[in-house]
Amino acid sequence: MKIVWRILVVTLLVFTVSTPIFISENRAEAASGENFYVGVTFGGNSVADAEHLIDKVSSYTNLFIVDSWAISGAPNSTALDEICDYAVKANLSVIVYFSFIYYNYTLQIGNLYNSSTWELFGVTPWHVEWLNQAKARWGDKFLGVYLYDEPGGKQIDAGYWGGNMTTFTGATITAFANITSYADATTRFTQGILRSGSMQHVINSSIPNSVTSPLSVFTSDYALYWFDYKAGYSTVFTEIGGDEGINSKIQQIALCRGAATAQNKDWGAMITWATDNPPSPESGSAMLQDMTMVYNAGAKYVVVFDYQINGLGGLTDEQFNAIKQFWNNIHSSSSDSQGKYDGQVALVLPSNYGWGMRTPTDKIWGLWPADNESAQIWENTNKLIDKYGLNLDIVYADPQFSIQGKFTQTYLWNSTLTFSTEPSNSLPNELYVLATVTSSVGAVACVSTYLLTKRRKQKLTTLHLQESSPNQEELLKQPIKPRERIEFNEIFNAFVGMVDPLFDLLMGLHGEGEWDGIENSLKRCELATVNFLRVVKLASEKLNFQNLSFVIKAHQPKEAAHEIQSILEVLYENVSVLGSGNEFSEELQSDYSVLKSAILAYFILNDILLGQIVGDEEIGKEKSELANILSSFSEGTQTNIKTGLFTEITDTLRQEKTDITAVAESRALLRKQLNEFLNRQRTKSR
According to the 3-state scheme, what is the secondary structure of 169-197? CCCECCCCCCCCCHHHHHHHHHHHHHCCH
Choice between 376 and 477, residue whose per-residue pLDDT is larger: 376
Q: Which of 60-69, 206-215, 421-430, 499-508 has the lowest mean pLDDT?
A: 421-430
pLDDT at 199 over 80: yes
Side by side, which strands form the sheet with 392-396? 392-396, 345-349, 409-412
Note the pLDDT of residue 661: 73
Strands 345-349 and 409-412: parallel
Note the pLDDT of residue 429: 38
Q: How far apart are CA 487 and CA 535, in angstroms?
A: 9
Choice between 229 and 610, residue whose per-residue pLDDT is larger: 229
Note the pLDDT of residue 434: 32
Q: How far apart are CA 365 and CA 354, in angstroms?
A: 5
Q: Which of 3-17, 461-475, 636-650 has the lowest mean pLDDT?
A: 461-475
Residue 665's nearest CA partner among 649, 643, 654, 678 is 649
Look at phi and psi of residue 357 and say left if phi exceeds 0, alpha if psi is from -120 to 50, else beta.
left
- For the segment 34-62, the average pLDDT, to the nearest whole number, is 93
Report the percentage of the chain scoring pLDDT > 70.
Answer: 73
pLDDT at 269 over 70: yes
Note the pLDDT of residue 539: 53
**Helix (H) or strand (E) run with residue 121 in it:** helix 115-121
Note the pLDDT of residue 137: 96
Residue 390's nearest CA partner among 354, 356, 350, 343 is 343
Residue 36's nearest CA partner among 297, 305, 389 is 297
Note the pLDDT of residue 468: 30
Q: How far apart are CA 276 and CA 263, in angstroms?
A: 33
- For the segment 480-506, the average pLDDT, to the nearest whole number, is 75
Per-residue pLDDT tens digits for 278-302: 778 888 888 998 999 999 999 999 9
Average pLDDT over the chain, rounded to whole? 78
Residue-wise burial string across 95-113, b where 16 or more C-beta atoms lie within 10 A, e elsewhere: bbbbebbbbbbbebeeeeb
Which amino acid appears at position 520 of this protein?
A: N
Say if residues 506 and 561 touch (Cβ distance below 8 Å): yes
CA 47 to chain centre: 34
Note the pLDDT of residue 167: 67
Q: How far apart are CA 280 and CA 205, in angstroms?
A: 41
pLDDT at 634 over 90: no
Say if residues 306 and 43 touch (Cβ distance below 8 Å): yes
Q: How far apart are CA 150 and CA 147, in angstroms?
A: 10
DSSP 3-state of 225 = helix
Q: How far apart are CA 266 and CA 271, in angstroms?
A: 17
Look at phi and psi of residue 36 and say left if phi exceeds 0, alpha if psi is from -120 to 50, else beta.
beta
* Domain edges within the chain: 3-13+470-685, 34-157+186-332
pLDDT at 151 over 90: yes
Choice between 485 and 385, residue whose per-residue pLDDT is larger: 385
pLDDT at 384 over 70: yes
CA distances from 12 to 440, 547, 676 (A): 14, 19, 39
Confidence at 546, pLDDT banded by 50, 70, 90: confident
- For the segment 352-360, the average pLDDT, to the nearest whole number, is 95
Residue 611's nearest CA partner among 48, 136, 1 is 1
**Helix (H) or strand (E) run with residue 142 in it:** strand 142-147
Phi, psi of 96 (to 5 degrees): -120, 130
Q: What share of the chain is helix, strand, coil (3-state, %, to 5)?
A: 50, 10, 40
Q: Which of 206-220, 238-252, 609-623 has the lowest mean pLDDT?
A: 609-623
Confidence at 128, pLDDT banded by 50, 70, 90: very high
Report the percentage of the chain scoring pLDDT > 90.
Answer: 40
Q: Which of 201-215, 229-243, 574-588 has the lowest mean pLDDT?
A: 574-588
Confidence at 652, pLDDT banded by 50, 70, 90: low
Phi, psi of 40 (to 5 degrees): -130, 160
Using CB atoms within 10 A of its CB, is residue 183 exposed (0-12), middle (13-18) or buried (19+)?
Answer: exposed
Q: What is the pTM of this model?
A: 0.62
- For the segment 95-118, the average pLDDT, to the nearest whole number, is 66
pLDDT at 274 over 80: yes
Q: How far apart are CA 631 and CA 643, in angstroms?
A: 8
Per-residue pLDDT tens digits for 301-344: 999 999 876 566 789 999 999 999 999 988 875 446 777 788 88
CA distances from 526 to 419, 423, 431, 531 (A): 18, 9, 6, 9
Choice between 428 and 577, residue whose per-residue pLDDT is larger: 577
Say if residues 15 and 551 touch (Cβ distance below 8 Å): no
Q: How far apart are CA 575 and CA 595, in angstroms?
A: 9
CA distances from 452 to 222, 456, 527 (A): 18, 12, 45
Choice between 274 and 71, residue whose per-residue pLDDT is larger: 71
Which amino acid appears at position 430 of this protein?
A: E
Query: Cα dihedral angle (510, 513, 517, 523), rounded to 10 degrees?
Result: 90
Confidence at 78, pLDDT banded by 50, 70, 90: very high
Give every CB contact of residue 446 below 8 A, 6+ residues apart in sequence.
Answer: 283, 284, 318
Q: How far apart are CA 482 and CA 32, in angstroms?
A: 56
Beta bridge partners of 268: 237, 301
Choice between 353 and 243, residue whose per-residue pLDDT is larger: 353
Q: How far apart are CA 342 and CA 391, in angstroms?
A: 6
Say if residues 65 and 41 touch (Cβ distance below 8 Å): yes
Choice between 486 and 105, residue whose per-residue pLDDT is larger: 105
Note the pLDDT of residue 166: 72
CA distances from 119 to 73, 75, 315, 675 (A): 15, 10, 38, 89
Residue 272's nearest CA partner among 300, 224, 304, 238 is 304
Beta bridge partners of 276: 279
Say if residues 663 and 609 touch (Cβ distance below 8 Å): yes
DSSP 3-state of 586 = helix
Phi, psi of 364 (to 5 degrees): -105, 120
Q: Number of C-alpha atoms within 13 angstroms, CB side, residue 627?
A: 13
Question: Angle, to 10 degrees, between the axis of helix 586-614 and the axis of helix 660-685?
Answer: 170
pLDDT at 542 over 70: no
Q: Is the peptide bond before 369 cis (omega within 30 degrees of 0)?
A: no
Note the pLDDT of residue 125: 86
Say if residues 185 and 352 touch (Cβ distance below 8 Å): yes
CA 574 to chain centre: 29
Q: How far apart are CA 39 and CA 320, in angstroms?
A: 11
Per-residue pLDDT tens digits for 461-477: 222 222 233 343 443 34
Say if residues 349 and 486 touch (Cβ distance below 8 Å): no
* CATH (residue range 34-157+186-332): 3.20.20.80
Note the pLDDT of residue 323: 95
- For the segment 550-574, the average pLDDT, to the nearest whole number, is 81
Choice between 67 and 277, residue whose per-residue pLDDT is larger: 67
